[in-house]
Structure 1
């Protein structure tokens, strides 16, 4: 097998050489390349390169799937041969006019949330671990009861589980300023202002224990703990306001005057206009999500489990981050996670069937690791490298996801966090749900595997 440097050279050669590359970046699984001339790409040759699990065009980018971890090393190897030192922001600049307005908007929304997701994942895992160590049956194994847990220990766990959501507006505003070209630290401070302890706490207001501050008799002002949209639009508008002043404030006064004006204008706008309006919009989104999730007879799981991976293909699935954050903020649990986990596991089951049934060594070498990647929650190698290539395995995976989602809905599974699924997702169910969660995923995998093995993949279609 070739080393990463040799693979990098083959990639560059197959897409038309250095002169055909505008910029290159990567995400969790894919190398994202913007080229000058699409016709110069030898797509068949790219597909034959070692470690490549698939390649396709999306939103003006030629995306080559290598998988988690591998893509980072291939990207470093490409940089080392002097192709490009472009950042993700450079690629976004080159592709910002590609795709529909909806696709561009959701892609930008995703750009804001990708850096934040790891801390939300960690928070979810902390929640799961707290549920495990405070569970009555677990404590009974050590001759303890919940009354034996000290208040100091519970306080410590609250620091781990609550901090990211209490200060979520600060994280969102920071990242939004970064994406839209503002100064991130100004966004951070603006976000912190939205959750200032001087303001009525949003959760206390929701519980009815505290009243909002009414300005001018009709504008309710509260803190925005756990909110997303107010901080996102405050960051978006704030970055534009900062750019406006940067061009007009004299350089000698820029360091002092620009941050002062941006923060003054934006906190007034955020508390008295953006916040109250967007908080209502967030409530509408939340209520609509709940209405779908509460469909009877397992219909919500059937629909979401079946359609989720179709939406992943379009690249607009990052919008689900907002939904999951709102669910955790308002309910303290996440019923959406087990449904999409079933969808993800099912694609892995379909790919595993292809890998075991195929006689082609290359297909086995591609499908088997891709199925494992899907079982770890990353489906792009399985979908683009295998299932979509043959068509029917992808459809069988959708059916498996629908079946698994149906049972997840019937069993009313509830995750303690977000953004990890399939096998890693078990950490979000470290309570009396874990066996049901595993059962649902096994059902998804088995359904997709059997349908693909017997009906979804024929030997004569191998390549």
Structure 2
């Protein structure tokens, strides 16, 4: 019997056996188990299993943190045991039936925006790469100056960096239709209509161009880079499409349903949804900028200190929209560096635990968890180490606050979103790299020292065990 097969058997036994499991799926780091009765889960036994970095019940699923790569191998062994597997999206639909209205709403919000994030990450990396290649110092290494860069090359980089934001409403409407049970291609076309070249460009209107006025008072513009109008249009559009489909004879469905859905929704989107929710979006942005712009680095201190608490609650996906707005409106993302400090600090706290403890098992858990945090994934460090012993988590929060304060004072501006700490360096290649590294070292160092001095001893290990 292989080690991974043994671990899979132990996990299944600890969650109540095969008869207590509806289905099993996995994401990048966690085994996600749908259980019939969560009271049958033996939390203490699960946490003692080799390679398990933590476990918790959330979003209707029992989630066992195993780490990148390891989770795939354990999942394969679970499948061999004859337990039903499900895709993550299928399981999410089942899990969405549990929890209160707020939790379900946040999960749905995450389901809409998470699939869009990879292209925005790529766009941010393109921005960082362009910033690096157009730096005067870098060009000087090749005997060039900014004047030597061809217009065609700049045009090519513009295609890489601008396309995702120009057509962002199409991506949002597509994903929203998908999540709310509509036809994704109808959502995609509706989103494309919101950025049609026939409409005044939103960025042109922002710099003085005139919008179109219907009925003499309704301003109509393109919604390039807009998030909330496309999101609301996607929700209402998907529900409207389903309502139309129920009332249309099957023989006419292919023609009538898309026609009626797009006609009604583009009228509603341009004349009602767009103007109202674009204004709401602007208020949200201004509120975000107010917090980020609090004097003396206070905004960074607050966000850096509270961010990982929000991660624990599982509602952090709601901030995806804010980061998208910052990038679209400002061209940079000051939120990322602050969040990076919060992530790095939890890694620093886990590193201190791993280096200070004499327990071989805890070292084997804490040190890889710290590395995972330094690669931008904090769940193993938080749930496997820091939150289990409480004080390391608190010291990590303090480290995040101090690092966030430094990021705010230094005025760091990421070119993208969603990648942090070591991978996040790619978002700061435009002459900010040394300050970015310094912020990470401040966060890690603060959390490490505080945890080493006040946050952990092996006596705490004995208490928890």
In which range does the TM-score fall when normalised by the shorter chain?
over 0.9
- Aligned to 2:334, the other structure's residue is in SS state coil
Cα offset, 1:81, TM superposition: 3.3
For the 8 Å contact 1:23–1:90, the answer to whether it is kept is: no
Matched, 1:454 2:460: no
Cα RMSD for the two superposed structures: 1.5
Cα gap change, 1:187 to 1:81, in 2 (>3 Å)? farther
Query: Match for residue 415 of structure 2?
Result: 416
For the 8 Å contact 1:2–1:50, the answer to whether it is kept is: no
**1:45-124 matches, cutoff 5 A:** 45-124=45-124
Query: Match for residue 159 of structure 1?
Result: 159
For the 8 Å contact 2:96–2:107, the answer to whether it is kept is: no
Cα offset, 1:63, TM superposition: 1.2
Structure 2: give runs of 5+ residues left out of the alignment: none
Query: Match for residue 385 of structure 1?
Result: 384
Query: Match for residue 190 of structure 2?
Result: 190
Cα offset, 1:94, TM superposition: 2.6
- Aligned to 2:83, the other structure's residue is in SS state coil
User: Matches of 1:33 and 1:393 in 2, distance apart?
Assistant: 28
Query: Match for residue 278 of structure 2?
Result: 279
Cα gap change, 1:259 to 1:338, in 2 (>3 Å)? same
Query: Match for residue 367 of structure 2?
Result: 368
Query: Match for residue 263 of structure 1?
Result: 262
- Aligned to 1:57, the other structure's residue is in SS state strand
| Higher mean C-alpha deviation, range 267-276 or range 395-404 | 267-276
User: Matches of 1:72 and 1:266 in 2, distance apart?
Assistant: 42
Cα offset, 1:74, TM superposition: 3.1
- Aligned to 1:182, the other structure's residue is in SS state coil
For the 8 Å contact 1:404–1:440, the answer to whether it is kept is: yes
For the 8 Å contact 1:173–1:190, the answer to whether it is kept is: yes
**1:141-180 matches, cutoff 5 A:** 141-180=141-180
For the 8 Å contact 1:302–1:402, the answer to whether it is kept is: yes
For the 8 Å contact 2:345–2:446, the answer to whether it is kept is: yes
User: Matches of 1:255 and 1:97 in 2, distance apart?
Assistant: 31
For the 8 Å contact 2:139–2:146, the answer to whether it is kept is: yes
Query: Match for residue 253 of structure 1?
Result: 252
Query: Match for residue 333 of structure 2?
Result: 334
Cα offset, 1:243, TM superposition: 1.3
Cα offset, 1:43, TM superposition: 1.8
Offset from partner CA, 1:25-84 (integer Å, 9 cap, x none):
333322222211112222222112222110011233211111233334433443343312
Matched, 1:7 2:7: yes
Cα gap change, 1:267 to 1:82, in 2 (>3 Å)? farther
Q: Which contiguous aligned blocks of 4+ residues in structure 1 show a shift greater than 4 angstroms?
A: none
| Higher mean C-alpha deviation, range 317-326 or range 62-71 | 62-71
For the 8 Å contact 1:174–1:184, the answer to whether it is kept is: yes
TM-score normalised over the length of structure 2: 0.96
Query: Match for residue 224 of structure 1?
Result: 223
User: Matches of 2:175 and 2:27 in 1, distance apart?
Assistant: 16
- Aligned to 1:298, the other structure's residue is in SS state helix
- Aligned to 1:22, the other structure's residue is in SS state strand
Cα gap change, 1:78 to 1:169, in 2 (>3 Å)? farther
Cα gap change, 1:427 to 1:35, in 2 (>3 Å)? same
Structure 1: give runs of 5+ residues left out of the alignment: none
- Aligned to 2:204, the other structure's residue is in SS state helix
Cα offset, 1:112, TM superposition: 0.7
User: Matches of 2:81 and 2:117 in 1, distance apart?
Assistant: 31
For the 8 Å contact 2:229–2:277, the answer to whether it is kept is: yes
- Aligned to 1:56, the other structure's residue is in SS state strand
User: Matches of 1:251 and 1:114 in 2, distance apart?
Assistant: 34
Cα offset, 1:3, TM superposition: 4.2
User: Matches of 2:71 and 2:253 in 1, distance apart?
Assistant: 40
User: Matches of 2:294 and 2:2 in 1, distance apart?
Assistant: 51
TM-score normalised over the length of structure 1: 0.97
For the 8 Å contact 2:354–2:362, the answer to whether it is kept is: yes
For the 8 Å contact 2:342–2:399, the answer to whether it is kept is: yes
Offset from partner CA, 1:206-253 (integer Å, 9 cap, x none):
111x21111111111111111111111111111111211222211111
Cα gap change, 1:85 to 1:440, in 2 (>3 Å)? same
| Higher mean C-alpha deviation, range 235-244 or range 331-340 | 235-244
Cα gap change, 1:74 to 1:185, in 2 (>3 Å)? farther
For the 8 Å contact 1:24–1:31, the answer to whether it is kept is: yes
Cα gap change, 1:13 to 1:311, in 2 (>3 Å)? same
Cα offset, 1:261, TM superposition: 1.4
User: Matches of 2:262 and 2:5 in 1, distance apart?
Assistant: 47
| Higher mean C-alpha deviation, range 342-351 or range 9-18 | 9-18
For the 8 Å contact 2:56–2:64, the answer to whether it is kept is: yes
Cα gap change, 1:242 to 1:76, in 2 (>3 Å)? farther
